[in-house]
């Protein structure tokens, strides 16, 4: 997606270890106009799916997910990183965080993820696919159906995209980073 690619090249910053910082328009300060356009594009790319729920993981997936949910006119469920003592019918899994280099538990209530749900997963980044695999586990536990996975930015030099597509999952990424070598952003 042209607008996102241009913005990454203008405002994205590379950090050692293959980290791209987009704090100026996605991860800290957010650009609602761009977020709106990105959501519209994701919805267009999944228009042949019958989606009745959007799922994401807190915190950075929530902004794009809620915009996509608003376009689709469906509820948006976010997996929580803290286990609320009041959550009923809890489904749990573990996710390894690429940026924090440690695993953390995530949960959703089985009251909001059920066999009736045809789910689109939305997240800001796809790197090694750990967050996505955690969500697949929750969807499987719930007996729900995964319709597809939409990402704003995919790091094409990491393994997540290939892993998910090999499983036959419909994966869409609005911008794919080919390389962050020498702290230079190279887009596909
Ligand atoms: P994965 O689970 O696919 O390995 O990593 C994706 C998750 O890690 C995303 O939810 C995102 O928050 C975070 N992440 C991975 N790589 C980057 C990166 O280069 N920059 C930022 N800002 N987040 C990243």
The model's confidence at residue 99, banded by pLDDT at 50, 70 and 90, is: confident
Is 2-187 in CATH node 3.40.50.2020?
A: yes
* Ligand 1 in reach of 27 Cβ (< 6 A): yes
d(CA 125, ligand 1 centre) in Å: 5
d(CA 119, ligand 1 centre) in Å: 21
The model's confidence at residue 71, banded by pLDDT at 50, 70 and 90, is: very high
Ligand 1 mutation target, pool 93, 99, 131, most atoms within 8 A of CB:
99
Q: For the chain, what is the mean pLDDT?
A: 97
Whether residue 131 contacts residue 160, with contact meaning beta carbons closer than 8 Å, is answered with: no
CA atoms of 113 and 108, how far apart (whole Å): 7
pLDDT the model gives residue 56:
98
- pTM for the full predicted model: 0.97
DSSP 25-83: TTSSS--HHHHHHHHHHHHHHTTTS---EEEEETTTTHHHHHHHHHHHT--EEEEBSS-
Rounded (5°) CA angle 58-67-116: 75
Q: Give the number of other Cβ atoms within 10 Å of residue 186's Cβ.
A: 13
* Ligand 1 in reach of 124 Cβ (< 6 A): yes
pLDDT the model gives residue 94:
96
Rounded (5°) CA angle 167-168-171: 100
d(CA 123, ligand 1 centre) in Å: 9
């Amino acid at each position: 997606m042209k607008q996102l690619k241009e913005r990454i090249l203008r405002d994205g910053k590379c950090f050692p270890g293959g980290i791209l910082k987009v704090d100026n328009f996605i991860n800290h300060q957010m650009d609602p106009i761009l977020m709106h356009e990105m959501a519209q594009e994701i919805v267009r790319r999944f228009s042949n799916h019958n989606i009745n729920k959007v799922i994401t993981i807190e915190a950075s997936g929530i902004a794009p997910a809620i915009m996509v949910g608003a376009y689709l006119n469906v509820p948006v469920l976010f997996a929580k990183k803290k286990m609320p003592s009041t959550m009923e019918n809890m489904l749990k899994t573990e996710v390894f965080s690429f940026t924090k280099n440690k695993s953390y538990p995530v949960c959703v209530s089985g009251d909001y993820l059920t066999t009736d749900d045809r789910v689109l997963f939305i997240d800001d980044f796809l790197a090694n696919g750990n967050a996505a695999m955690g969500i697949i586990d929750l969807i499987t536990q719930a007996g729900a159906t995964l319709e597809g996975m939409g990402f704003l930015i995919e790091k094409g030099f990491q393994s997540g995209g290939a892993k998910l597509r090999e499983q036959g999952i419909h994966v869409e990424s609005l911008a794919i980073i080919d390389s962050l070598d020498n702290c230079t952003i190279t887009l596909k």
